[in-house]
Amino acid sequence: MKCIIGLDVGTTGSKAVLIDELGKILATHTSEYPMLTPKPLWTEQNPEDWWSGSCEAFQGVLKKSKVKAIDVKGIGLTGQMHGLVLLDQDGKVLRPCIMWNDQRTSAQCASITEKIGFNKLMAITGNPVLPGFTAPKIQWVRENEPKIFKQIKHILLPKDYIKYRLTGVFNSDVSDAAGTSLLDVGKRRWSEEITKALDIPMEWMPAVTESSVVIGQVSREAAAATGLLAGTAVVAGGGDQAAGAVGSGTVQPGVISVCLGTSGVVFAHSDRFTIEPQGRLHAFCHAVPGNWHLMGVTLSAGGSFRWYRDTFADIEKEKAAKGNNDVYDIITAGAAQVKAGAEGLLFLPYLTGERTPYPDPNARGIFYGITVRHGKDHFARAVLEGVAFSLMDCLQLIKNLGTPIKEIRVIGGGARSTLWRQIIASIFGQELLTLTATEGAPFGAALLASVGTGIYKNVAAACSNTIKVELRTKPIRENIEIYRDAYELYRQMYGILKETYSKTAAFVGKH
């Protein structure tokens, strides 16, 4: 039996998915780790926590499935994008990783944009420089931690650090590297022009390859730590969104995926390099060789719902523990009793700043329209609707570029919620498809590994043989008009609050 493991080095934990060659999931295992917030809007993680979590995840799927390590033909990797991992000449981590949702680098973004020019950045990288991206983090370390900066010999992204620990190879793939502001996205290679302008030595950068390429093998040391067999092939893999798109079959024009993870992503496949002129959408390399994608990002999607759970749902958590139920199911059951539009209660999900359509690290979350009539169920529904409105912002920009939309597939942990799918379908005014493959990014990473190890000849073949439609969620007709009106109110809020957001950020910085 030929088996493949996909590993997702995620924001909240490392998740391994073990599949057979037909895409049947034989086991999954997740090992969680903490996120550090040393200052407001700063987020960091310790790469050693990723490695420990990944080792536990590998061991867990082998134990649960009872599959022998010799039957695992390959490992595919994916993970959170943009994070900055710095290593010294001995391959040791120099400081905690500065993560994708960290917002400390606004000044460095402005400096890079002034130095290179917005239009040139768009032409080369397909994107403006944003606080979440990797290049401004490098500049921040240069300016604020010079002793650490002097020791840098290697720069890696999160999943690529785990790849290094598995194989000893310094490698990245084009889909993940596209989110660094250092890749020539059209040419699918590091940009010498940008690295030179930012005085970043090219030898610090890992080799960059297509996502389905075998880049190395599991070392003896890594085999002892993970339970894998030494010599097992390791495939380059992809950034979490590109790998998630592979895992949902979003590998041809006309297919759109919506991922409801910690962040929310609306993802459109493209067979050519296309940019949104104002840089409100990301234009990245796809994990499908020779292809690209457009992507809108809501920074706090599932993250907003998790925040609501952790902040307001103690009673629901107690009920869930007593009844051995999922706390999210209890919360959404209450929210489902509230009428669409939450009786005028709106939520802006900008809990960690925002990316699309407002690249604004100063943006803040808002509940608006509170009255004495609103209870907890209204607030829960408003959170779900606010995230869906933000995703609609992303979809609208994709439509405005003339991108064909034949079908929309929904993936990620939030896709398990019937209510949330229904809300999104009604706001989009279009049917959503849910798939038999529900594991998203790690499943996609496994499919990339199945291509790299020769089980399938290409990504399209891997997807068509393993992914099927399971459910269809149609919009509720009477809710479409309600949400159309509510969305117009939602869209006005950012413009009204933009100046106040900046003043609030200044206040927090001062006090």
Paired tokens of 135: 């290049």
DSSP 139-203: HHHHHH-HHHHTT--EEE-HHHHHHHHHHS--EEEHHHHTTTT-EETTTTEE-HHHHHHTT--GG
**Complete edge-to-edge strand list for the sheet that includes strand 25-32:** 25-32, 13-20, 3-9, 72-79, 233-239, 214-217
Instruction: Indicate if 71 belongs to the active site.
Output: no
Contact 124, 188 (CB under 8 A): no
Instruction: Confirm if 329 and 319 have CB atoms less than 8 A apart.
Output: no
What whole-number distance in Å separates Cα of residue 213 and Cα of residue 449?
8
Pair of tokens at residue 47: 């790469």
Distance CA 385, CA 378 (A): 10
Max CA pair span of the chain: 64
DSSP structure class, residue 342: G
Q: Which long-range contacts (CB under 8 A, 24 or more apart) does 118-123 make?
A: 118/279, 121/181, 121/194, 122/275, 122/277, 122/279, 123/275
CB count in 10 Å sphere of residue 271? 13
Strands 189-190 and 207-209: what pairing? Answer: unpaired
Q: Residue 144, SS3?
A: helix
Residue 93 gets which letter from DSSP? B
Helix (H) or strand (E) holding 237, with range, is: strand 233-239
E-assigned strand segments in 353-425: 366-368, 405-411
Report CA-CA distances (Å) from 281 to 173, 252, 278, 301, 398: 20, 19, 8, 17, 8
Q: Measure Cα distances from 158 to 34, 50, 79, 202, 321 in Å.
A: 15, 8, 7, 19, 33
Give the single-character DSSP code of 180.
T
Instruction: Take residue 330 and report the two structure tokens written for it.
Output: 């209890």
Please identify which of the residues 49, 176, 240, 360 carries the catalytic annotation: 240
Compute the distance between CA of residue 510 and CA of residue 427 in angstroms, rounded to an integer. Answer: 40
Q: Active-site positions?
A: 240
